[in-house]
Amino acid sequence: MWRDDDDRIMDILDIIETENKEIVPAVCPICGEREGHLYFHRFKEGHEAGGMWMWCSACHHSTHARGKVPEWWINLGEISFEKLAALPDYLEKNKNRIDQWVNKLDKIKTYKILKDEEMLQLRASYIEIGKLVQEYGYGEYSDILKILMGQVNCIDSNENEGEKLQYLIDSYTRRIQGKGGLIDFVRYNKNSEVYNTLNEKLGGELEKVWGILKGYL
């Protein structure tokens, strides 16, 4: 069913370098149908060695090679290494999920993934901020607490690093940093003594959070 006699299928790789909103399915370099797919698989987490596959669901040209996987690549959880073979039958069955995943990774590939110690610092800062907000106990603090706990739960979860990073960034930009987030919460305190104490500690923790996340915003 699959043909691996035309190297032009490798041109699917070029889409990674383009600015398309959704890179896959890509236009097949051989038959011209928008049915081109690609998948990488890192053999071991944190290692650069892996496999790559490119195939077209329309003309059934395909190729598979071993080599260096792009730095931004994260294996798709549902794809089991045992089922991978040189021919892409298994990948073809999962192509919709794979395309979705490749498009998502492509969107965040310019980010470096957070280091473990940055994750731990972020977790510690969000817990400290939560304590401060709870201690203060005014305004929308229960909403903010829920959001902060969401960050901690995310960091503790088994989601892969890419999913975590995207959640942390989304929450920070939409809920924490924005209007109705911690900045508003602090600004409207009336008791100047509490305000100053709270802001000093809170400001310090927010600075740490900012220091970690600013590279992704």
| Residue numbers at the binding site for Zn ion (CB under 5 A) | 28, 30-31, 56, 58-59
Write down the least CB distance from residue 3 to Zn ion, Å.
10
Nearer to Zn ion, 31 or 84 (CB): 31
Output the smallest distance, CB 43 to Zn ion, in A: 28
Residues 6+ apart with CB under 8 A from 150: 171
Q: Min. distance of Cβ 29 from Zn ion in angstroms?
A: 8
End-to-end Cα spacing for the chain? 45
Closer of 26 and 147 to Zn ion (Cβ): 26
d(CA 147, CA 119): 16
| C-beta closer to Zn ion: residue 55 or 101 | 55
Amino acid found at 198: L
Is 91 in contact with 55 (CB distance < 8 Å)? yes
Q: Give whichever of 36 and 181 is closer to Zn ion, judged by the CB atom.
A: 36
**Shortest spacing between CB 60 and Zn ion, in angstroms:** 7
Distance of alpha carbon 96 from alpha carbon 16, whole angstroms: 18
Q: Cis ω on the peptide bond leading into residue 70 (within 30° of 0)?
A: no
Nearest to 34 by CA among 16, 4, 12, 19: 12
Q: Min. distance of Cβ 112 from Zn ion in angstroms?
A: 34
Nearest to 102 by CA among 158, 32, 11, 20: 20
Nearer to Zn ion, 31 or 145 (CB): 31
The smaller minimum CB distance to Zn ion, of residues 63 and 125, is found at: 63
Cβ atoms 152, 210 nearer than 8 A? no
Report in angstroms how near the CB of residue 25 gets to Zn ion at its nearest: 10
- 132-154 burial, b at 16+ Cβ within 10 Å, e below that, comes to bbeebeeeebeebbebbebbeeb
